[in-house]
């Protein structure tokens, strides 16, 4: 079997990603906390509760873990609902707390990337109509101004909004996230307001911190037609246009083109310094006349793909390469801001990590300007409407005791971060089944 190493570029960022509501715990004025109290919203009636208890200080031990395992970057988010719990109140102690966390990262030689909106808002914002109300553009900008004023000495990499595509779909089409709507018109408005809010936030951040690097984290899905029927191909193209292209294309040419409706948002042109890409899996698309509520579509995974524990993710590393190739069209540096798999037993994760990183390496070797990779996630955390049934952490979490469980992937990822690459020897030890594919015999 050939031996070798796929090295990544010098100075590559290797980290993990988390989000405030998923790890902090006890977040009283937040839309998700309220949502969790409603019957039937979260699987098995689970709640985020203490989560990973970062608000109780356990971020320190988790950052220690990241440092001890050679991670040099971490993507986290801050909660708007903690910083502005009511319209007329700025909570300085919350900003102090986040400041301490960012200093905590620096002191461990970990570069922070901060997300300003990751799926949740203060309750008062939701009461005003949330992202359906155009007022949110100014409200979000005011929050961003306050947060960036306070935290810019400790952070240069900002993600304004996490996955606007998933947010609009889950909260306004599928009804799985608050406010639980199934209303395409509302989804259109929400996306449109998110583009405008992002553009304004971009300007606000650069005004405060000219050297800031500002982007979004897009969830990229590689959609392929399930069969040979032209309608399957057409549908796959439509999903790509709306889910993947709508937002970033508007930032390129100012045309918000939602196929059935168009708008011009010229102020959005040129408002991203990097492209954040969250890649997990790819879908086969089949046109289905009977599936009216699912936009006449049936989605599936290829029959031979390796499936995650709950069938939520099919391992399709080729999609990682496609994702980066797609991201290149915007002419900006790229960060993989999320990638990972739900797997409580760690049976699949080592192989998933190695195969996806090799696919990423292929794209980089083809000159894609990728600057870093953030694995989702550092430690198991609250997975939205799926509660605690999905475990994405390198470290597991025992919810009862708050104990962290060291999965083999911790050591694999530590070796990758330390070597700045993946070696045949690593593959042999952690995922031998992937060896022929990753290091094929000559």
Please report, as ranges, the residues that interact with ligand GAL according to CB under 6 A.
Answer: 19, 22, 162-163, 166, 219, 278, 338, 376, 383-384, 392
How far is residue 336 CA from its own chain's centroid?
Answer: 9
The sign one gets for the Cα dihedral 116, 117, 123, 126 is positive
Q: Write down the residue that tokens 């979004």 correspond to.
A: 216
Distance CA 429, CA 412 (A): 9
**CB-nearer residue toward ligand GAL: 265 or 357:** 357
Least distance in angstroms from the C-beta of 163 to ligand GAL: 5
Smallest separation, CB 312 to ligand GAL (Å): 7
Query: Which residue sits closest to ligand GAL, CB atoms considered?
Result: 19
Q: What's the burial of 7, exposed, middle or buried (CB within 10 Å: 0-12/13-18/19+)?
A: middle
The closest alpha carbon to 154, from 93, 212, 70, 214, belongs to 212
For ligand GAL, the closer CB: 215 or 225: 215
CA distance 281 to 368: 20
Which is closer to ligand GAL, CB of 162 or CB of 213?
162
CA dist., res. 248 & res. 328, Å (int): 12
Shortest Å distance, C-beta 161 to ligand GAL: 11
To ligand GAL, the closest distance from the beta carbon of 270 in angstroms equals 25
Closer Cβ to ligand GAL, 36 or 163, answer by number: 163
Q: How far is the CB of 380 from ligand GAL (least distance, A)?
A: 11
Q: What is the token pair recorded at 384? A: 């939205």
The smaller minimum CB distance to ligand GAL, of residues 72 and 162, is found at 162
Task: Decide whether 116 or 166 has the Cβ nearer to ligand GAL.
Answer: 166
Beta carbon of residue 341, minimum distance to ligand GAL (angstroms, whole number): 9
Tokens (6 digits) for 214: 């500002």
Nearer to ligand GAL (CB atom), residue 380 or residue 415: 380
* C-alpha span between 330 and 270 (Å, rounded): 10
DSSP annotation of 181 reads -
**What is the C-alpha to C-alpha distance for residues 104 and 154, in angstroms, rounded to an integer?**
10
Shortest Å, Cβ 278 to ligand GAL? 6
Cα distance from N-terminal residue to C-terminal residue, the chain: 8
What 3-state DSSP class applies to 171? helix
């Amino acid at each position: 079997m050939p031996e070798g190493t796929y090295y990544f570029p010098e100075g590559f960022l290797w980290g993990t990603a988390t989000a405030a509501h998923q790890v902090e715990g006890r977040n009283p004025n937040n839309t998700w906390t309220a949502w969790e109290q409603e019957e039937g919203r979260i699987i098995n009636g689970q709640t985020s509760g203490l989560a990973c208890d970062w608000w109780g200080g356990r971020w320190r031990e988790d950052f220690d873990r990241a440092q001890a395992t050679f991670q040099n970057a971490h993507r986290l988010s801050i909660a708007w609902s903690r910083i502005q719990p009511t319209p007329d109140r700025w909570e300085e102690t919350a900003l102090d707390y986040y400041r301490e966390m960012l200093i905590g990262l620096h002191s461990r030689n970990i570069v922070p990337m901060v997300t300003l909106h990751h799926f949740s808002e203060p309750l008062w914002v939701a009461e005003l109509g949330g992202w359906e109300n155009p007022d949110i553009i100014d409200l979000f900008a005011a929050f961003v101004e306050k947060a960036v004023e306070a935290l810019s000495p400790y952070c240069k990499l900002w993600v304004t909004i996490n996955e606007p595509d998933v947010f609009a779909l889950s909260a306004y089409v599928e009804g799985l996230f608050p406010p639980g709507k199934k209303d395409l018109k509302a989804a259109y408005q929400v996306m449109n307001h998110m583009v405008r809010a992002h553009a304004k936030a971009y300007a606000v951040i650069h005004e405060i911190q000219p050297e800031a690097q500002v982007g979004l984290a897009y969830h990229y899905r590689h959609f392929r037609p399930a069969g040979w029927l032209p309608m399957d191909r057409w549908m796959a193209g439509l999903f790509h246009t709306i889910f993947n292209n709508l937002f970033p294309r508007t930032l390129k040419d100012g045309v918000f083109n939602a196929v059935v409706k168009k708008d011009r948002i010229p102020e959005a042109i040129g408002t991203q310094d990097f492209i954040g890409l969250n890649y997990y899996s790819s879908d086969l698309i089949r046109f289905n006349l009977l599936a009216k509520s699912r936009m006449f579509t049936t989605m599936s995974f290829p029959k031979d793909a390796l499936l995650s524990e709950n069938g939520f993710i099919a391992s399709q590393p080729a999609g990682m390469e496609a994702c980066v190739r797609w991201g290149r069209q915007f002419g900006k540096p790229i960060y993989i801001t999320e990638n990972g798999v739900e797997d409580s037993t760690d049976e699949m994760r080592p192989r998933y990590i190695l195969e996806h990183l090799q696919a990423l390496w292929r794209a980089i070797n083809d000159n894609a300007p990728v600057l870093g990779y953030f694995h989702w996630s550092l430690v198991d955390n609250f997975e939205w409407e799926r509660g605690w049934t999905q475990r994405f952490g390198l470290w597991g979490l025992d919810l009862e005791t708050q104990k962290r469980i060291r999965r083999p992937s911790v050591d694999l990822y530590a070796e990758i971060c330390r070597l700045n690459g993946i070696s045949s020897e690593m593959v042999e030890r952690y995922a031998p089944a992937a060896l022929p594919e990753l290091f094929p015999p000559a």
